[in-house]
Amino acid sequence: MNASLFKLVAQRLALGLMLIFFVSILIFAGTQMLPGDVAQAILGQSATPEALANLRAELGLNAPVYQRYITWLVGLLHGDLGTSLTNGQNIATAISGRLSNTLFLAGCAAIISVPLAIILGLVSVLYRNRWPDKLISTITLASISVPEFMLSYILIFYIGVQLGWAPSVAMINQNMSFFARLYAIALPVTVLVMVVLAHMMRMTRAALLNVMQSAYIETAELNGLSRFKVIWRHAFPNAIAPIVNVVMLNMAYLVVGVVVVEVVFVYPGMGQYLVDHVAKRDVPVVQACGIIFAAVYISLNMLADIFSILANPRLRHPR
Question: Which residues make beta-bridge pairs with 90?
Answer: 83
Q: Give the tens place of pLDDT for each residue, 11-48.
A: 888 888 899 889 888 888 887 776 666 666 666 666 67
pTM comes to 0.79
H helix runs in 60-165, sequence order: 65-77, 91-126, 131-145, 148-155
Q: Which pLDDT score is estimated for 213?
A: 76
pLDDT lower than 50: segments of the chain:
none
Q: What is the 3-state secondary structure (H, E, C) of 38-86?
A: HHHHHHCCCCCHHHHHHHHHHHCCCCCHHHHHHHHHHHHHCCCCCECCC
CA of 36: how far to CAs of 32, 39, 56, 263, 283, in Å? 10, 9, 13, 22, 11
Q: Which pLDDT score is estimated for 260?
A: 84
Q: What is the largest CA-CA distance in the chain?
A: 87
Distance of CA 172 to the CA centre of its chain: 20
Q: Which pLDDT score is estimated for 60?
A: 67
Q: Which pLDDT score is estimated for 36?
A: 61
Q: Domains in the chain, ordered, with CATH?
A: 101-269 (1.10.3720.10)
Q: Give the tens place of pLDDT for each residue, 214-234.
A: 777 777 777 777 777 777 777
Q: Which pLDDT score is estimated for 42?
A: 65
Work out the number of other CB atoms within 10 angstroms of the CB of residue 286: 20
Packing angle of the helix pair 186-212, 236-256 (nearest 10 deg): 150
- Secondary structure (DSSP) of 224-259: T--HHHIIIIIIHHHHHHHHHHHHHHHHHHHHHTTH
